[in-house]
A and B are shown apart, each in its own frame.
Chain A
Amino acid sequence: MTEKSAYQPGASPGERCAIGISFGNSYSSIACTIDDAPVVIANEDGDRQIPTILSYVDGEEYTGNQAKAMLVRNPKNTLISFKDFLGQEFKSIDPTHCHAAAHPQDANGTVSFTIQDKAEGEPSTLSVKEASTRYLRRLLQSASDYLGKKVTSAVITVPTNFTEAQREALIQAANDAELEVLQLVNEPVASVLAYDARPEAKLEDKIVVVADLGGTRSDVAVVASRGGLYTILATAHDYEFAGVHLDNVLMDHFAKEFMKKNANVDPRSNARSLAKLKAESEAAKKALSIGTNASFSVESLAEGIDFQATINRLRYETIARKVFEGFNRLVDGVIKKAGLDVLDIDEVILSGGTSHTPRIAHNFRAIFPETTTILAPSTSPSAINPSELQSRGAALQASLIQEYESDDIEQSTHPAVTTVKHITNAIGVISLSEEGEETFTPVIAPETAVPARRMIHIAAPKEGGNVLVKVVEGNTHIKVTKPEPKPKENGKDSDEDSDDSDFDDSDEEEEEHREKVWKIGTTLAEAAVRDVKKGGKVEVTINVAGDLAVTITTREVGGKGGVRGTLKAP
C-alpha cells in the first residue's frame, strides 16, 4: 500500500482491534475472528447484510434497513449506491442507480449530494467521501458494540478494477472515521481465502473462478491458487446483469399483473409507488431463492389500491432468463480471456448476494464439467453464505496481519515482493501408463509463482532396480473426440438398444467428447536412482528459484543419499 493521508489513525500493533469490512454499493458486511474463525457481525437491527444507505429525517441519521425503508417517503434525503463514486470525477460516474434517491451532483469535479441532514436550516452538500465516512462510522459502531471495545483497524475489500484514486479516497474516508486501514484486499481473493481457511480445506493447486454477483455489478475473476499463493489471471466486470436487473424483471412483472386489474394505473409512473414496487420485488426475489413460491403484497401500491400476488420459481426463472444468461456469458468470457477452458477450472465460488439464486448455480453446474466443484448454497451443502465471503476473508486477513507494524505490511505488499515470475509450463516427470507409454505426471503446475518447491512420491517399476527420473516440461490441451457416426436404426419398433432410451431425440447430434490431456514438452534433466528395492518408491523434489534456476533432488523413499543436480537460470 502506497497510499498515505495526512491523518493516520490506528493503534500500536499490540493494541489494535481489527475487523474485516465488505463495503458494497448495495450492502455491506462486517466480520471479526473469534479463535481464528470468522464471525459475521449483526448490527443493532440484527442484520448481517447491511444496506449501504444513509437517510436523514428531522436531523436524525439512519443506516441499513431503517434507511432503506425511507426510500418510500424520504428519497431526496436518502443516499444509495454511492460507494463506487469514491475517487471518481463527476463526469465519469454512472448515476443510474441513484435515480429514486438523492442525486449525485458535481461540486468542483467531485461527486456530492445535497441533503437536509439537520433538523433546521439550510441543506448540506455532502461529498461522496464524507458520506462514506459517515456510513463507515456506523459500521464501526456496530462492530465496536458487538466486540465491547473500540474497533481501531480494518481490512476492507475492493473490486479488482478499483483505481488508485478510488483506493486512496476509500482509505481517506475510513481514516476520517478514525479507522486505520491495514490493507485493501481484492474482493475475489477475500472469497477464496474464506474458503481456504476452513479447517477441513486441503492445500491444493487449483484454478478457481470467483463469480461475484452483486446488486449493481457483477465481477468475475480467474484465480490460480498455487501452494496457497493467489494470482489473478483474468477479470471481467459487468454492469448490465446484476441483482437490480432481476428486481426490474419482477417489478415489470408485478406492475403488469397490477394493471390487468387496474387498467390505467401504472405503479411505475409514480415515484412512491415505484419505490414500494421495488422494495417488495426485491423481497420476493430473495424469497424465491429459498422457496418455490413467493408472495407479493403491498398496501396501497398505487392510487390507494392494495395489491397481492404470488409468483412461482419457474415463472421467475423464465422471465429472468436473459439476465441469467448474461451471467453465463460473463463467466465463459473471463475463462477465455485467461486463455483457459472450462475443463481447467477446479472450483467455482459463487459470491455476492445474487449468488443465492438457485438457477444461477444450476446454470453454472451445466456449463462446467462434473469435475468442477460449484460452491453455492443450492449446489453444495457445505457452501459458505455468498453474502458473507468477502467480509469473512477480510476478517481472516485482518487477524493475520493485525500484529504487524504498518511499515512491515507496506513493505510486504510492495510490488518488489508481490511481482514475481510465474512459470508458463508445468514441470513434471515421465511415468509409464499400463500400456508402457510415456505419460506426463505434473509436479509443479503451470502459472506457479516462483520461488516454488514441490515434492512427490512415485512408484518405481515393480521389480525395482535402476530407475530413470526424467524431468520434463508439460502442457495441457483439449482433446476433442467426435462421436462415431451412429448406425441407422432399422425400425421404430426395435426393442434392442434400450441403453440410449434417455436420448430419445435421435436427430440431435450426439455431443463431442472433450478432455484435457497432457502433452510432453522439453526434457529438462535426467537423473538415475539406483538399486531401488522391489515395490519401492522414489521421492522427487523440484525447487524453482526466483530466477528460474532449478534444483532437482531425488532418492529412494526411506533410502540414503540420492541424486541432486541443478539447472541454470535461463
Chain B
Amino acid sequence: METARIHRRHFLIGSASTAGAIAAAGVTGSSFPAFAAETKELPDYVSWKDADKLIMHTEQTLEMKRGAGGTSVITPNEEVYIRNNLPSPDESIVADRDAWEVSIEGVNDPRTLTVGELKNIGIETVATVLQCSGNGRGFYEHETSGSQWLTGAAGCILWSGVPVRKVVEELGGLADGGNFMTSTGGEQLPEGVEEKDIIVERSVPAEAMENAILAWEMNGDEMPLAHGGPLRMIVPGYYGINNVKYVKRVAFTEEETDAKIQASGYRVRPVGVDGAPDQPSMWEMQVKSWVTHPLKDSESGRVQIYGVAFGGDKPVEKVEVSLDGGESWQDASFIGPDLGRFAWRPFLLTADLEPGDYVITSRATDSDGNVQPESTEPNHRGYDYNGWDRLAVEVTVV
C-alpha cells in the first residue's frame, strides 16, 4: 500500500489541528487541507469571501477547500482562491473603475487608454481555469518555500473584457520586434526596495495575445479588487501569475522583462538549482484532474464520484477514474456544458461500492493525447503537482 503510506504522510506534515480535524470528521485518509478546522478571520480586502470554503495560508494566500466549488463548472467568486504577490491596492482605485488607465506600448500608435475607452473597442467573454503555479506544492516531498497548496489554488471563471488583439488592431497593429507581451501590475511598491526586485511584471509569448483579454468582469460581477479590479490581464491556458492584476501597462517587447519575478522567479528547474532566465517559465498549463467527491467515509451502495479535469491550453478529451489506486480504470462522463478549451470540465462516475477501503483517483487526457502522469518529477519550487498518485483520496466504505 505505497499510496496509502504517502497519503498518511501528507497529512502528518500539516499542523496538529489537521489531525484533529480529520479525526473529528471521521476521515480515514483523504488528502484533507491543513487548518481545515481553524476559523481565522479573513482580512478586510477579502472579507466578502466565504470563509467556510477557504483555508487561509497567509493573509495573501487563500485556498479553496477540496470539495468546495460545486459541480456547475464555474467557481463562485466567494470561493475562488487568492494569491496576491503584493498587498491589494487601496479600495480607492475601484471608486471610478472606468477611469483606470492602461498604457499600450509596442504598437504603431501607442496610447494610454481608460477602461471606459476599452469598453468601446470590443467585448468578449472567455471561461478559463485560473490556477496558481504552486497548486499541489504540498504534495511534493522535498522542502519547498511558499504556501503548501493542495488542490484548491484553482478555479474555473468567466471573464469579460476586450480582446487584446482588438486593442492592438485599434492602435495600428504590432510594431516590429514584439516577441513578448509584457504586462505590469499597478500595485504600490514600498520604499527601500529596487523596483525590478519586487514589481509584478510578466512576459508571455506574443502569440498569447490571440486569446488574451483585458477583463473588467468576473463571473458577472465587476472585477473584485482582490482579483485585480478594475482591470486584469487574462491569458487563457497560462498559469495564474501571468494574469496580471491592476494592469497598468501592456507592452509588446523584444525581450522578456528582467523583473525578478520573470527572470529568476517562476522557473522550472531541478531541486537545488537557482532560478535563471534560460529555464522554462511557468507559462502554459498542463493536463490535470482530481476528484472532489467523495473525500470521506461513505455508505456502501451507489456512490457518485466526481471531480474536475482540464487540459491547460488544449481541450480535455477524456477522464478515467480508478478506485484501486491506479490498478484499473473506468471512463468517466462529463457533467454540464463545454465552455471551451480553456475551461475545466466536471466529470462523473457512478459506482456501486461494497464495504472496504478504496484509493480513488482520476486521470485526464487532452486532445493531443497527453495523459496526466502517475507522478510528477520534483522541481525546486514545487510547481504544479499533477500526478494522479498523490492527488488520490483514500475512502473507507462502510
Q: Do A and B come from one complex?
A: no
Residues in chain B within 8 A of chain A (CB atoms): none
Residues in chain A within 8 A of chain B (CB atoms): none
